[in-house]
Amino acid sequence: MERKQYQLGDIVQMKKPHPCGTNEMEIIRLGMDIRIKCVGCKHSVLVPRAKFESKLKKVLRSNPEANTANQNSALE
């Protein structure tokens, strides 16, 4: 099964809200672990990818800069 692709800067909605009250997080690091930063209080958390994917509800906004950068590098 193919893993979902995420980009740096994507805003995602988690199933449970952060203690500050918001459930929107920004992806700031990708790899085997994913670091997400709370949009409300700016606290960051390092989460294993498998746990992140199970706790993710949906991707709210994809980072448009990352998409254009990938397209530009593919054209070169």
Q: What is the pLDDT of residues 33-75, one digit of tens each?
A: 999 999 999 999 999 999 999 999 998 888 767 555 555 555 5
What is each CA distance from 9 to 1, 37, 75, 76, in whole angstroms? 25, 10, 22, 23
Is 3 part of a structural domain of the chain?
no
Element (DSSP H or E) covering residue 63: none
Q: Is the pLDDT of residue 17 over 70?
A: yes
Domain count, the chain: 1
Joined tokens for residue 73: 């590098």
* pLDDT of the residue at 44: 94
* pLDDT of the residue at 66: 58
Is 25 part of a structural domain of the chain?
yes
Q: How would you classify residue 75: left for phi > 0, otherwise alpha for psi between -120 and 50, otherwise beta?
A: alpha
User: Residue 66 sits in which domain range?
Assistant: 11-75
